Chains A and B, each alone.
Chain A
């Protein structure tokens, strides 16, 4: 027999020509899945294109939703990383997204910089804003830090209305160069999806590498008990400032993507609490086990909203929040927790959602 499949001791073994043998653990918790998931993620647009016509949701809507899911994923990964690395919950991630968006929009519109240059500028300038705000991670913690960061989007909101001549208030800044020049809108959606996916994958790869290194180990200790970390030689202030600065810059990249994808940028729309809730819930719904959960959560949140829309129309957001509340209640370990049973000896820094005293 050319190919023989055998199930033995929880493993699926494929024998090819009685010469080669491939074994696969059936139980999902033993799978080494990053590659499989990355391949599935890359194939998503193809699956959408293969969808039968006549469904309540069209392929362009879905592709657009996938792009937004990637944008939320990027912010959620950065936010989860920031939460773990600083031991503090930032309630104003959408502020940094909007800063990045405006940097890209203004530099493109006023100085003619292309998307490649505005990418660097959006990251750099948002990181600088993060650096300026990073002392907050030293002087405040807990609810105090959360409240201070929560004010940031409101300040930006006022600024946008105060300087309408610069930021354009609700109208925003139109006429921004698109991410890529193509004739077919379908091609545009697909290419934009892959650009955002590439950024998300690179970010995931980097953050995963950091978490598995000595830096991740130190971040974990800071997240668990900052005083203990400092008592055992870990330079908490330096690490917190660095993490806050870099992750703020990454959130700015989300804004850059939004500005160049839509071709216009109205900060008021993205300063609205829905984006904040999407980013925060992506981390929690996805699972407390840090970054992979954030991606799952972002996809769940964005797609659930778009899936609900054809069925309940204007009540889609209300329906989404109901679904999210039920999910939060039923899955304290998040969607990631369904897949990944904790490995006893493996320590992965994660966000804590304290439900009990």
Chain B
């Protein structure tokens, strides 16, 4: 098992954003996480990535208790993430944005790499996501679609085994969303990744994941195969509103 979260709780004042959430993710799985806005999906990602410290519960990654570990330590263990709203360094080029993820990685220190070597390696990741030609463009000049790709490249550069992809299709048109979905699938196969994928675009995510978790009001209300989950009356009532034809 790659990730095991047990009874995770996160409160913001009187609001319980994540309420006793437990989940298990096996190696090589692509797990979808869906739910209405404010259901606690991104908070869960923030808890696993170390952005937030849980008020209760435990997170174990590949047998190591990471509940109290800092975000940078979790990255070095092999956990990476993307952000719902791209958080890139806008004054840096695409290449530099991938390079700092390499500079912060475990192998940078172990292999005694130089900054130039990190920049060279960053080219490889940019090429994988199709941004090689944009390597010298400042991030603030990139459209949203390319910023999303760049986020994926940056996450890959940390050499992860587990990636949390947070609404990577938000704001993209159907063609771009399709391309991103295909890319995520390809990355999973090429890099042997385990993926937790938060998404609202149901028609695409239902085709792309093996298992779906549904969150509502901080709790996991349903779990199962995509075609089962979309027919679950609790899920239909809380989130979908009508059945999805896959």
Indicate if B93 sits at the interface (CB-CB under 8 A).
yes
CB of A224 within 8 A of CB of B49, answer no
Contacts of B49 in A (CB 8 A): 231
Indicate if B237 sits at the interface (CB-CB under 8 A).
no
CB of A231 within 8 A of CB of B75, answer yes
Indicate if A245 sits at the interface (CB-CB under 8 A).
no
* Shortest Cβ distance from residue B69 to the other chain A in the assembled complex, whole angstroms: 11
Rounded to whole angstroms, the CA-CA distance of A237 and B69 in the bound complex is 13
Rounded to whole angstroms, the CA-CA distance of A214 and B102 in the bound complex is 11
CB of A218 within 8 A of CB of B72, answer no
* Shortest Cβ distance from residue B155 to the other chain A in the assembled complex, whole angstroms: 8
* Shortest Cβ distance from residue A354 to the other chain B in the assembled complex, whole angstroms: 13
CB of A225 within 8 A of CB of B75, answer no
Most B CB atoms within 10 A — which of A220, A227, A232, A237? A232
CB of A347 within 8 A of CB of B92, answer yes
Indicate if B81 sits at the interface (CB-CB under 8 A).
yes
Indicate if B91 sits at the interface (CB-CB under 8 A).
yes
Indicate if B103 sits at the interface (CB-CB under 8 A).
yes
CB of A217 within 8 A of CB of B70, answer no
Contacts of B88 in A (CB 8 A): 228
* Shortest Cβ distance from residue A115 to the other chain B in the assembled complex, whole angstroms: 38
CB of A233 within 8 A of CB of B158, answer yes
CB of A347 within 8 A of CB of B87, answer no
CB of A221 within 8 A of CB of B81, answer no
- How many residues on the A side are at the interface (Cβ–Cβ under 8 A)? 22
Indicate if B19 sits at the interface (CB-CB under 8 A).
no
CB of B101 within 8 A of CB of A233, answer yes
Indicate if B124 sits at the interface (CB-CB under 8 A).
no
CB of A225 within 8 A of CB of B100, answer no
Rounded to whole angstroms, the CA-CA distance of A235 and B72 in the bound complex is 6
Contacts of B108 in A (CB 8 A): 214
Q: Mark B87-116, 1 if CB is under 8 A from A, else 0.
A: 111111100100111011110100000110
Indicate if B136 sits at the interface (CB-CB under 8 A).
yes
Q: Mark A340-357, 1 if CB is under 8 A from B, else 0.
A: 000011010000000000
Contacts of B75 in A (CB 8 A): 231-233
Task: Please give me the residue from chain B that is nearest to A213 by CB atom.
Answer: B115
* Shortest Cβ distance from residue A345 to the other chain B in the assembled complex, whole angstroms: 5
Indicate if A120 sits at the interface (CB-CB under 8 A).
no
A-B contact count (CB 8 A): 74
Task: Please give me the residue from chain B that is nearest to A221 by CB atom.
Answer: B100
CB of A225 within 8 A of CB of B89, answer yes
Assuming the A-B contacts A213-B115, A217-B100, A217-B115, are A234 and B72 also in contact, with contact meaning beta carbons closer than 8 angstroms in the complex? yes
Rounded to whole angstroms, the CA-CA distance of A236 and B51 in the bound complex is 13
CB of A347 within 8 A of CB of B76, answer no
Indicate if B71 sits at the interface (CB-CB under 8 A).
yes
Assuming the A-B contacts A221-B100, A344-B138, are A230 and B72 also in contact, with contact meaning beta carbons closer than 8 angstroms in the complex? yes
Q: Mark B49-63, 1 if CB is under 8 A from A, else 0.
A: 111000000000000
Contacts of A227 in B (CB 8 A): 51, 71, 87
Indicate if A229 sits at the interface (CB-CB under 8 A).
yes
* Shortest Cβ distance from residue B44 to the other chain A in the assembled complex, whole angstroms: 15
Rounded to whole angstroms, the CA-CA distance of A250 and B96 in the bound complex is 30
Task: Please give me the residue from chain A that is nearest to B138 by CB atom.
Answer: A344
CB of A233 within 8 A of CB of B104, answer yes
Rounded to whole angstroms, the CA-CA distance of A202 and B90 in the bound complex is 32
Rounded to whole angstroms, the CA-CA distance of A84 and B88 in the bound complex is 17
Rounded to whole angstroms, the CA-CA distance of A218 and B92 in the bound complex is 12
Rounded to whole angstroms, the CA-CA distance of A137 and B79 in the bound complex is 26
CB of A233 within 8 A of CB of B106, answer yes
CB of A214 within 8 A of CB of B115, answer yes
Additional A-B contacts beyond A232-B75, A235-B70, A347-B96 (18; CB < 8 A): A214-B115, A217-B99, A217-B100, A218-B103, A218-B104, A220-B89, A224-B89, A224-B90, A227-B51, A228-B88, A230-B72, A231-B49, A231-B72, A232-B158, A233-B101, A233-B105, A237-B70, A347-B91
Q: Which of B's residues lie within 8 Å of A, judged by CB? A: 49-51, 70-72, 75-76, 81, 87-93, 96, 99-101, 103-106, 108, 114-115, 118, 136, 138, 154, 158
Instruction: List the 4 closest A-B pairs by CB distance, nearest first.
Output: A233-B104, A233-B75, A230-B71, A232-B101
A/B interface sample: 6 pairs, CB < 8 A: A217-B99, A224-B91, A227-B87, A228-B87, A229-B104, A232-B100
